[in-house]
Every structure is written in C-alpha cells, then in structure tokens.
Homo-oligomer: A and B are copies of this chain.
C-alpha cells in the first residue's frame, strides 16, 4: 500500500481545548489527506470519559490509560495533549516512541525538560517526535527555526511567547489598571488559568524559548539554565514612565549565542514604541530570529486557542505522513552541542532604573555620582511628579553595561539615605 492511499490511524490523549479542537477539525474535514494518505482518529484517552464535550467521542475506542493508547496496535500516530512535564504525558510519549510510533505533542514543559532524552529514544527508533503546537500555537515557529533556517547560523531569537502575559500587559498599558485587577478579570474571562503561575511567572515562556534555543543552536534544551522573571511585579508606575521615555513593557523571551555559550532569559523588558514587538498587543505572540545569512525574520500571530493550536497539531500529523526524517533538534540527538550557559552577570545591555526618592535637594546629584563611580553611564533621565506617591520617582536609562556592574551600582544606590526602596531594574530589549 502506498503512502498515497494509506489510512493513518491517530490516537489522541487529552481532550481539553486543543484535543477538542483537533477532533472538531477532523470531523469538519472528513478525508483530511494532506500528504496523500487519510487521517482517521481511532482511539482517545482523557481523565473523564463522561464529561460533557462539544465533540462526540462515542465512535472512538476509549482508553482510561494514555499509556495503553500509546502502545495500542490500533494506532499509527500518537498525539499527546495531556500536558505536564512528567507523569502520564511523559510515560505515554515514551511508550509510543518505544513502540516505534511517531509522536505529535503540544507539551512545551515535556520537550523543554525532557526533550534531549526523548530525542534519543525517537531517533533510535527512527520515528518523528514533533511539537509545533508547543511554541506560539498557530505560528509555525518550530518549523521555521528547525527546517527553514537549517541553511543558516542563527545568532539570536527574541520574542513574546506568552499570550496571557501579553494580554495582561496590554490591558495594564491601555486601561491604566493594576496587574492584580487585570489578572482577576482575565481569570473570570477564561484567558488566564485559576493558578496563573506558569504564565505570569514567566515559566511557560521559558519552556518555549528553551525549545527554540535548542532548535536554533543545535544544543539540548536546558530549561534549568534559563533565567526567569515574570510580570507579577510589573508596576503601573513603570509602564507609564517607560511610555514617557518612548518604550512599552513586554515580557520578552530571548536566546543569544556567543563564543561563551548560550544565554536564555525571560524578563519584562522595554521595547521601543515603534518596534514591532511593542506593537504586538493583546494575546498576540511575536518572534524575531536573526541569522548570519538571512538577517532578521519577524513572525507574529495567535499563540494559543483551540483553532490555531489544533491546526498546528494537524500540520505535524501531515508532516509525519510525508515520511520526513530529520533530527528532533538541529542535529542528531547523540551529536547535540553541549549547552554552555553564559553567566547572566557577564551579559551586557542597556537598562531602565526607577528609583523612589525623598523630595529633597541633592538627590539627583547623589544618584548620578554613585552611578558614575560604579561605572554606569546614564543615557537619559526623567523626573516626573506623581500624585499620591510616598516619594518622588526618578527614572533613568543607561548605556550598555555589564549586568554585574549594574547590580553593584544598584546595591550602592539602594544604600543612599534619600533612596526609599530598592531601585526597580528593567532591561531594555536588544531587538
């Protein structure tokens, strides 16, 4: 039987938003045959068989245990939409790969934390392990970095990879409302999880940028090496002051390769108002990729949602059907470059510092002097009256400076008698 006429039997574990979206899509497109052969869902697994669902699952074989579905003789491709870095998701993916079945997953935590070992298993069995839906939902970031830029050497990637954070920051910026207010509303509307830690803490973006870094630089994903700061401490005051200086605060995830190694970071960062990243509002995701030969590519789109994410899963299923075999990351799993993390303290960059000071003469002189002594060069300076504040905010941006020098300077400024609280540091994105 040629691939052209083959029926590909798909097992789907996890029937939440994405799983439901995938079943709806395949129900709307009976005979979906993107690479010749036809896709047919045969088995499903989820936590509850009886839970009310928009899609009728009675035609599919039911499996209480996703591992049993993964191993089942009834399926040719295993789709893992359970989620979580360990537990049943990992067990099921391992079982499917061990049984020689191609795996498609949307699980960013699993790939970011266990991608290297899963790649070894997949490649030893000669089956694909695909995860387009794990990063940027419907935007094919994985395909672009893994396949389209294979003829280049990528230097850096940077972008907005978490739609929930981008939505919250956009609402804070446009509506002048505090983080906690906007988060509570987002939770009511279903845009944010009941436990929002993974999103607002920056961990979800860190999973995604760790995966992209591995694909871009040909190293094993190293989530543990990512430096992570979320948006939960972003203050409306800083959003306003940043805007006065010509910037918008975004949660920027970045990965940079240098002779010293790889630096993977997630930080609330300032992007110039005229920059595409600053203009990507709401739940949009956006990514810059910079290569030696290609220069800069920018891509933007919906980073989540049933439709986009299910479409990404369907595209991965189509890729399995084409018979394409390539390394899971940028190089065969056994030949991945070591991931040498760069000490963030050694990284260079421009910074935004916001101080809260007593309203008395000589404060600006003292701050400027302290920064100069510490070796930090000021680029711009802004003092603005703010109502109902316990002190007077002053804000400055620096020229590029080593992070260790900056931190030492902040320590000294924090000790000045007129400075009321530890200065707020935000990075200016290198984009």
Q: Contact between A326 and B332 (Cβ–Cβ < 8 Å)?
A: no
- Give, as a whole number of angstroms, the nearest-CB distance from A277 to chain B: 12
Q: Are A293 and B307 in contact (CB under 8 A)?
A: yes
> With A297-B299, A308-B294, A322-B325 given, is the CB distance from A313 to B148 under 8 Å?
no
Cβ of A152 and Cβ of B323 under 8 Å apart?
Answer: no
CB of B327 within 8 A of CB of A324, answer: no
Interface residues of A in 1-53 (CB under 8 A from B): 3-4, 21, 25, 34-36
CB contact under 8 A between A151 and B34, given known A293-B308, A293-B310, A302-B294: yes
Interface size class of A (residues with CB under 8 A): 35 or more
> Are A326 and B36 closer than 8 Å at their CB atoms?
yes
Stretch in A107-115, A138-146, A236-244, A410-418 touching the partner:
A138-146
- In the assembly, what is the distance between CA of A4 and CA of B123, in Å? 11
Q: CB-CB < 8 A to A314: which residues of B?
A: 150-152
Please name the residue on chain B nearest to A293 by beta carbon: B307
Partner of A150, one of B274, B296, B318, B324: B318
Shortest A77–chain B CB gap in Å is 14
Task: Name the distance in Å between A21's Cβ and chain B's nearest Cβ.
Answer: 8
A341: interface (CB < 8 Å): no
A296 and B307 within 8 A (CB): no
- A327–B149 contact, CB under 8 A? no
Q: Is A315 an interface position by the 8 A CB rule?
A: yes
A158 vs chain B, min Cβ distance (A): 15
Is the pair B307, A294 in contact by a Cβ cutoff of 8 Å?
Answer: yes
The answer to whether A297 and B293 touch across the interface, beta carbons within 8 angstroms, is no
Residue of B nearest to A151 (CB): B314
Contact of A294 with B138 in the complex, beta carbons under 8 Å:
yes
Contact of A291 with B by CB under 8 A: yes
Q: Does A295 contact B (CB under 8 A)?
A: yes
Which residue of the partner chain B has the closest CB to A133?
B151
Q: Which of A293-341 contact B (CB under 8 A)?
A: 293-302, 305, 307-308, 310-315, 317-319, 321-327, 332
Complex Cα distance, B139 from A362, in Å, reads 54
Task: Provide the main secondary structure of the chain A interface.
Answer: mixed
Interface check A279, CB cutoff 8 A: yes
Whether A147 is near chain B, meaning CB under 8 Å from some CB there, is yes
State A292–B279 Cα separation when bound (angstroms): 24
Tell which of A291, A294, A305, A310 has the most Cβ of chain B within 10 Å: A294
Q: Does A276 contact B (CB under 8 A)?
A: yes
Within 8 A of B (CB), among A118-157: 132, 138-140, 143-144, 147-152
Are B147's CB and A143's CB within 8 A? yes
Contact in complex: B25, A313 (CB < 8 Å): no
Which residues in B have their C-beta under 8 angstroms from that of A312? 148, 151
Q: Are A148 and B143 in contact (CB under 8 A)?
A: yes
CA distance A315 to B294 in the complex (A): 12
Report the minimum CB–CB distance from A54 to chain B (whole Å): 15
Residue among A147, A314, A321, A322 with the highest chain B CB neighbour number at 10 A: A147
Interface pair A325/B151, CB less than 8 Å apart: no
Residue of B nearest to A301 (CB): B297
Given A140-B144, A144-B140, A294-B138: A319 and B324 interface contact (C-beta under 8 Å): yes
Q: For residue A293, which residues in chain B have a CB less than 8 angstroms away from its CB?
A: 21, 25, 138, 307-308, 310-311
User: Given contacts A150-B314, A291-B311, A325-B322, is CB(A300)–CB(B297) below 8 Å?
Assistant: yes
* Given known A-B contacts A138-B294, A300-B297, A311 and B149 have beta carbons under 8 A apart: yes
Q: How far is the CB of A173 from chain B (nearest CB, A)?
A: 16
Least Cβ–Cβ distance between A154 and chain B, in angstroms: 11
Are A152 and B311 interface neighbours, CB within 8 A? yes
- Among the listed B25, B144, B308, which residue makes an inter-chain contact with A144, where contact means beta carbons less than 8 Å apart? B144
Listed from nearest, the 8 A-B pairs whose CB atoms lie closest are A151-B314, A140-B148, A324-B324, A293-B307, A138-B294, A297-B301, A151-B311, A322-B324
15 residue pairs from A and B, CB less than 8 Å apart:
A34-B151, A35-B326, A138-B294, A138-B295, A140-B148, A143-B147, A147-B315, A149-B315, A150-B314, A293-B310, A295-B302, A297-B300, A298-B300, A319-B324, A321-B326
